[in-house]
Structure 1
């Protein structure tokens, strides 16, 4: 379908006149009429009825108009996808309080000239699909969950191994410990209502439980981090895991404790994913920044699942 003919049709529909559309498009009125006629022949319907006041859409024209507009928007997105650097770098950080968000804040401070769109996508499948379609440029994920190999056109690199900490209330049995070993956590109730089956973090904690015999409970509704902190503060028998760089604020009266976990230290692996053919120059800058500021991975005395990609 001739997109210029579609563009001309939309212009006539929005102005209500062939003459005004010709002015907006910098064409002769005859050229506008010719383009519309070509489109009508291709579709096999009449799109306009000429009136003394201009042009009115037929029923078929009214039905075609929203689709015509979507065709033009799709064409604009297609053109924008190959104009590297002329649009913001779009990066998925999963959530606003996690390590990935902190990494992007660091990148923004180092490169304030780079325009960014930071968004949050819950599902890894949706994130990968968005990378492949060009809707986003990159995503921070734990790669890869068992049985979920990445498509061949998606590249990943580990950018951060983030230690887990134990978060307790002031009356918990381990609250005064400077650190706790994984073995010491056996028999303690660790409550994590935010674990969702099928996610990469659910796969991570499943392996952690299997490896060290921990008791992690994901029961009950997930009312968010504030409600989780309230419950941990008020319930001596409960603790939860919190990633080291997760940014949380709680009332002073909660008296919560963040305690390092050792022997080994479970680390949550963060990787950056992108499409191997993505030409956006800011993506190159982001990867270079992460490589220069990263702390490495697979350090001695740490644990992570065997399915995590080393690169």
Structure 2
């Protein structure tokens, strides 16, 4: 039986070797513009280089090797990103343009020795739909607001009667006459005079569109960090060495974390599993960074739809007075 001191010393060495990993602060990566399980649209007409942004938490001062994996399992090595400081956007640029991408299940591998901490090997899976960006034309509708005022006509007639009284005269008539006397009554004479006391002018509305251009500075909304960190790599990269995925001795394997386990090397199986994982996420709406449809406003005012919105104002009463003269 070995001395107690040697057993205690061995335990101390074992704890020193693996205990630091168990108690060390874990280094996590998070997707920003492309997040694990997301579904995104890419404009195939764009010649911009494809980039992605990550944030890190709890990591040591070091860099991460970034690898883009296409739906066929081929790898492209992208630019490195810093692991520090915490929660700061770190962008990686990949050697492929957007117009060279195609629809399918893609992945980003984040590999790092994490300085003096535990090595990391994370995998960010997402689905891309690649196609030309459509353009939708918006034609404005211009509405003319018009107010109509009803007119009520009231005619008032005033009658004035003029009476003529003839002075009596003496008429000498023969004592005898062959014809009887005839009385003649003159007919009534009516004079009507019309006076114009007001004139109403009716207005007709016409619509004329005056086009004006206003320049506004575009604003962008920064994506929020995904709620959970990236999962452990299920793909073993070939372009870089991932210490977190290396096999270990039976003694040390007991103390290695989940992220340090070696994953199966069957490439066909890995690709099939990745496609299956993303198929479950295809119900998600296509998101940024590219917009599937852009909307532009028609600048030809002749195409604009014009309508008239009419309201009725209180009525105006116009009274017309006429004078009628009757002579008797």
Q: TM-score, normalised by structure 2?
A: 0.22
* Structure with greater contact order relative to length (CA < 8 Å, sep ≥ 6): 2
Rg bigger for which structure? 2
Structure whose residues are more often helix by fraction: 1
Q: TM-score, normalised by structure 1?
A: 0.23
Structure whose residues are more often strand by fraction: 2
